[in-house]
Amino acid sequence: MNPPTFVGLGFIVGFLVGLTGVGGGALMTPSLIFLGVEPLTAVGTDLLYATATRIFGVFFRGRRGGIRYDIALRLLAGSVPAVILGGVILREIDRNALNDHLTVLLGAILVVSAVLSLLKGEFDLPVRPRWAYVYLLGFIVGLTVQFTSVGAGVIVSFTLMNVAKLDPKDVVGVAIVYGLALSAFSFLNYAGIGGVDYGLAGTLILGTIPGVYLGTHVNRKTDREELKRAMNVIILLIGLFTLLGG
């Protein structure tokens, strides 16, 4: 492992997240795989990385108030059985088979996440919101995150805005709180099978902190929506290449 390379990766991803608010997991996991990290370890390490970085997000967001904990807790309740199921699957399936399938699944989720992000605010689903759908959404996203570490923020945000018609400001708070809890629980599954590189996660976080700080300052002078679209196109291309490679 070349520490400067991963510090640089953490800085770049952190900068882009601070600049646009999206793309952390969608960029980190495929980047780690590209740099030679085993897919299983890449997912587990990214989940630890995401947990640590989201703690800061929850802290700063919580100070401003207005987080819809009722929605976040229902999402988490739906995710608990998915986390348990994911843990069983991770322990029962051969590690080599998991690595092969994780790459393909990651590519598919990247493509879906990018498309949903590009459609955000431009797509109106003709479904009447019900609390049962929130639990179902939590289960689907929880199972997805178990195996890719990608998709929680994008899929939840897209659905809450286009189905539940939730205020975008509330959506951000829900996504951060739910994402923190889900990544923390999911990380435990990978820790239990030795699928986490703690040194690598620490190195990534070391680069991310100044990256996020710089990104949040630069975003005041840039068109964030245009940057988000550009990032989602990049994520879409990464997903397509990952699928082809898998």
| Cα separation, 45 vs 2, whole angstroms | 16
Considering only CA atoms, which of 192, 105, 194, 104 is closest in space to residue 143? 105
Percent of the chain having pLDDT more than 90? 33
Instruction: Report d(CA 105, CA 111) in Å as an integer.
Output: 10
Full-model pTM? 0.83
Task: Tell me which of 19-23, 135-139, 196-200, 236-240 is least confident.
Answer: 19-23
In the predicted structure, residue 246 carries a pLDDT above the cut 70: no
Expressed in angstroms, the distance from the first to the final Cα of the chain is: 23
More confident residue, 233 or 193: 193
Residue 180 has pLDDT above 70, yes or no: yes
d(CA 12, CA 163): 33
Query: If you average pLDDT over residues 50-62, what whole number do you get?
Result: 74
Amino acid at 132: A
C-beta pairs of 220-224 under 8 Å, 24+ apart in sequence: 222/19, 224/19, 224/20, 224/21
Q: How confident is the model at residue 224 (pLDDT cuts 50, 70, 90)?
A: low
pLDDT of residue 7: 94
Q: What is the pLDDT of residues 5-23, one digit of tens each?
A: 999 999 998 888 777 766 6
User: Residue 241, class by beta-carbon neighbours within 10 Å (0-12 exposed, 13-18 middle, 19+ buried)?
Assistant: middle
pLDDT at 193: 92
* Confidence (pLDDT) at 154: 76
User: 136 near 16, Cβ under 8 Å?
Assistant: no
**pLDDT per position as a tens digit, 114-123:** 888 788 655 6
Cα-trace Rg, the chain: 17
